[in-house]
Structure 1
Amino acid sequence: MSLTVDMETIGDVLIVRLDGELDHHTADDLRSQMENAIDKYKTYHILLSLQNLHFMDSSGLGVILGRYKQITAKGGDMIVCSINPVIYRLFELSGLFKIIKIKESEHEALLVLGVA
């Protein structure tokens, strides 16, 4: 399975919806797409929706952590939402939830970011 990436912006928030598998085969492409979108749309916050992400390895964690560092260096924030149980467990084991916020839905995350 591959990775499908859907991106949209609302105000200064880049919403990234992932569908499929985020692994060493797809991580570099996602990194490039997100970096380009952050620069192009003057993004200040990232909302990462993982409802349809079914697999992720350490390469995927690296991409997410890298974009977190990129956006927080600008004073922004990253929120992960709609995360399925398999990926949730990976986030727990990696310790990412200690630094990245999680919300139940996109709407809830957008409220926190002030654009809903």
Structure 2
Amino acid sequence: MKIECKKINRTLLVKLYGEIDHHYTEDIRDKIDREFNKQVCNNIILDFEDVGFMDSSGIGMIIGRYKMTQEKNGKLYAFGLKDNAKRIFDISGLNKLIVCFTTKEEAIKSI
């Protein structure tokens, strides 16, 4: 799993690659939290364009980042969800907490 973080104004854009499963969720969480606090952000955009698979362990990681943004009066957004991740979002109800977009441009414009 590879993660790239980039700050856009007060928003952390997180590019995720590979699989989000129990092997990687702790590393993903730690890197996002570290960058979010270091960069002094209040929003997060998760880029799922290069995520091939996500299991239920990703739900907890995402909800934790959602709560973190809420504590700073921010929001959590996502875009580029493929079938597997989209299904997890729909079944778990994440799509009711997190605004999902098709493209990065749509997500950035909404902030």
**Aligned counterpart, 1:83:** 81
Q: List per-residue Cα deviations over 1:62-108 (Å, max 9, x = no partner).
A: 11110001111110001110111221011101110011101111111
**Aligned counterpart, 1:60:** 58
The amino acid of 1:83's aligned partner reads L
Identical residues among aligned pairs (%): 33
Which of residues 14, 28, 31 is equivalent to 2:29?
31
Which of residues 2, 5, 17 is equivalent to 2:3?
5
Which of residues 27, 40, 59 is equivalent to 1:42?
40
Which of residues 89, 92, 95 is equivalent to 1:94?
92
The count of aligned residue pairs is 111
* Rounded Cα–Cα distance in structure 1 between residues aligned with 2:16 and 2:77: 14
The amino acid of 1:56's aligned partner reads M
2:104 counterpart of 1:106: yes
Question: Runs ≥4 in structure 1, deviation > 3 angstroms?
Answer: none
* Rounded Cα–Cα distance in structure 2 between residues aligned with 1:55 and 1:104: 17
TM-score by structure 2 length? 0.96
* Rounded Cα–Cα distance in structure 2 between residues aligned with 1:90 and 1:107: 23
Q: Could you say what secondary structure the match of 1:17 adopts?
A: strand
The amino acid of 2:54's aligned partner reads M
Q: Structure 2: any 5+ residue segments left out of the alignment?
A: none
TM-score by structure 1 length? 0.92
Q: Could you say what secondary structure the match of 2:81 adopts?
A: coil
The amino acid of 2:14's aligned partner reads V
Q: Structure 1: any 5+ residue segments left out of the alignment?
A: none
* Rounded Cα–Cα distance in structure 1 between residues aligned with 2:71 and 2:23: 27
2:71 counterpart of 1:73: yes
